[in-house]
């Protein structure tokens, strides 16, 4: 019996994942009941791959053979999407099929694998709401998984829960959780020369670069823009807005502000101990996060750029008064060398691409207060 480490291959999610350009098929209509048809293709030299190989993973809650593990990832993914749609999404019983020996071929042909999977599952067409998930561990393409934007087919090479949740997200219409950075953290020079977009750059969720664990959520901005639950609330200019911590289930966890085709989203993130992945170069303090959609030059910087988290470099912030240690040596400022993924009480920030200013008034235990004013 071979043992496969799912943990290691799940990290390959950061490999390029290009969504297929399938015609929109209304996969995220709320009246649709979703169904997962899961097909494991079988390598010729391992005819019992799905039933004999053991899974050795720290992310799975059980340790068993591959097919049980696959079923567990599907259960976890369904739980994730139900939770993140606040119960709006409906799923019917999933179906599992194993292809006969020799169906997993090294050929880098995702659509041929989907066709092979449909044949194994006895499907001539894939109805709306059905998601055919085809696993080919011998795929030689450079992806861990491949979803289709608002489509209904998923190819997996790495079949951990993280990849499955992520690719289903594409089928439901999600784009990547991205991040943006402008040179020297100067967002007053807001253009394609000074600023760059990191397509998977948002640490906040697994449409970006976080991993799955039982408590993961998507950013409130992602949920609001696709599920509309919670609904993003409109900001009143010049009026204090209280925003609740973005993992809470209140109706005040994300606020939006449009300006000339750009959209600005504000949510409050309080780092918790139960994070799935720890990223040591980020500054973890309660923070008001600003995400943007648009202008066009930003989304043109990747295949599936979604909401972009505004990031800054702590070393770029004004130094303030130099503080010296006992030996008279200057102490580096507290944010030195860290990536700032949000704003804290007292900060003032001019919105990129709009004549408005964000002022963060307080960042408390469960909510923050901020104001947007014309500048
Ligand atoms: Zn993706």
**What is the whole-number distance in angstroms between the Cα of residue 68 and the centre of ligand 1?**
25
CATH for 3-171 (3.40.390, 1.10.357, 1.10.10, 3.40.50): 3.40.390
Query: 333 burial class (0-12, 13-18, 19+ CB within 10 angstroms)?
Result: middle
Annotated domain spans of the chain: 3-171, 176-374
**What is the whole-number distance in angstroms between the Cα of residue 320 and the centre of ligand 1?**
41
Helix runs in the chain, H state only: 6-10, 49-52, 66-84, 110-121, 161-171, 220-226, 296-299
Cα 260 from Cα 353, distance rounded (Å): 9
Compute the average pLDDT of residues 124-133. 95
Per residue in 82-107, pLDDT tens?
Answer: 999 999 999 999 999 999 999 999 99
**What is the whole-number distance in angstroms between the Cα of residue 99 and the centre of ligand 1?**
26
C-alpha count within 13 angstroms, C-beta hemisphere, residue 316: 12
Q: CB within 8 A of 234, min separation 6: which ones?
A: 255, 256, 257
Residue 66 confidence (pLDDT): 92
Confidence band (pLDDT; 50, 70, 90) for 130? very high
**Range 138-168 burial, b when 16+ CB lie within 10 A, else e:** bbebebbbbbbbbbbbbbbbbbbbbbbbbbb
**What is the whole-number distance in angstroms between the Cα of residue 155 and the centre of ligand 1?**
12
Q: CB within 8 A of 48, min separation 6: which ones?
A: none
Confidence band (pLDDT; 50, 70, 90) for 20? very low
**What is the whole-number distance in angstroms between the Cα of residue 154 and the centre of ligand 1?**
11
**What is the whole-number distance in angstroms between the Cα of residue 208 and the centre of ligand 1?**
8
Beta bridge partners of 240: none
Cα 145 from Cα 198, distance rounded (Å): 19
Beta-strand pair 367-374/241-244: antiparallel
Contact 267, 359 (CB under 8 A): no
Per residue in 171-193, pLDDT tens?
Answer: 999 999 999 999 999 999 999 99
Residue 272 confidence (pLDDT): 81
Query: 90 burial class (0-12, 13-18, 19+ CB within 10 angstroms)?
Result: middle
Compute the average pLDDT of residues 74-79. 97
Contact 174, 222 (CB under 8 A): yes
Per residue in 335-353, pLDDT tens?
Answer: 677 899 999 999 999 999 9
Query: 234 burial class (0-12, 13-18, 19+ CB within 10 angstroms)?
Result: exposed
Per residue in 221-253, pLDDT tens?
Answer: 999 998 888 999 999 999 999 999 999 999 999
* Whole-number percent of the chain with pLDDT over 70: 86
Confidence band (pLDDT; 50, 70, 90) for 18? very low
Confidence band (pLDDT; 50, 70, 90) for 15? very low
Name the token pair of 133: 């998930």
Contact 112, 26 (CB under 8 A): no
pLDDT tops 90 at residue 325: no
Cα 21 from Cα 110, distance rounded (Å): 13
Residue 101 confidence (pLDDT): 96
Name the token pair of 113: 């694998």
**What is the whole-number distance in angstroms between the Cα of residue 179 and the centre of ligand 1?**
14
pLDDT tops 70 at residue 60: no
Cα 375 from Cα 362, distance rounded (Å): 20
**What is the whole-number distance in angstroms between the Cα of residue 218 and the centre of ligand 1?**
14
Confidence band (pLDDT; 50, 70, 90) for 12? very low
Q: What is the mean pLDDT of the chain?
A: 87
From 141-145, 243-247, 371-375, the region with the lowest mean pLDDT: 141-145
Q: CB within 8 A of 227, min separation 6: which ones?
A: 28, 84, 85, 86, 88
């Amino acid at each position: 019996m071979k043992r496969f480490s799912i943990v290691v291959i799940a990290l390959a999610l950061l490999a390029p994942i290009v969504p297929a350009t399938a015609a929109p098929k209304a996969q995220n209509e709320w009246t649709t009941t979703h169904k997962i048809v899961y097909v494991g293709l079988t390598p010729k030299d391992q005819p019992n791959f799905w039933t004999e190989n053991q899974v050795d993973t720290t992310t799975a809650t059980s340790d068993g053979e591959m097919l049980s593990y696959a079923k567990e990832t599907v259960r976890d993914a369904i739980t994730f999407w139900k939770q993140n749609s606040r119960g709006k999404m409906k799923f019917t019983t999933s179906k599992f099929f194993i292809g006969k020996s020799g169906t997993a071929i090294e050929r880098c042909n995702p659509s041929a694998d989907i066709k092979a999977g449909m044949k194994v599952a006895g499907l001539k067409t894939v109805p709306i709401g059905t998601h055919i998930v085809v696993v080919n561990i011998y795929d030689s393409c450079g992806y861990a998984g491949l979803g289709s934007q608002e489509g209904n087919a998923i190819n997996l090479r790495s079949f951990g829960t993280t990849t499955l949740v992520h690719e289903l997200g594409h089928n439901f219409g999600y784009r990547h959780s991205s991040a943006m950075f402008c040179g020297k953290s100067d967002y007053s020079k807001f253009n394609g020369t000074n600023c760059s977009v990191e397509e998977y750059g948002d640490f906040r969720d697994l449409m970006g670069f976080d991993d799955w664990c039982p408590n993961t959520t998507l950013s409130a901005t992602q949920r609001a823009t696709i599920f509309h639950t919670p609904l993003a609330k409109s900001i009143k200019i010049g009026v204090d807005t209280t925003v609740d911590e973005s993992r809470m289930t209140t109706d005040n966890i994300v606020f939006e502000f449009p300006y000339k085709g750009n959209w600005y989203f504000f949510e409050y993130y309080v780092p918790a101990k139960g994070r799935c992945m720890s990223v040591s170069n980020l500054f973890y303090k309660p923070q008001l996060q600003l995400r943007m959609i648009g202008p066009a030059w930003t989304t043109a910087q990747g295949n599936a750029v979604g909401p972009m988290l505004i990031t800054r470099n702590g070393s770029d912030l004004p130094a303030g008064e130099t503080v010296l240690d006992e030996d008279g040596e200057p102490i580096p400022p507290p944010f030195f060398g860290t990536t700032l993924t949000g704003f804290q009480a007292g900060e003032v920030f001019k919105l990129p691409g709009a004549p408005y200013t964000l002022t963060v008034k307080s960042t408390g235990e469960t909510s923050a207060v901020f104001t947007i004013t014309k500048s």
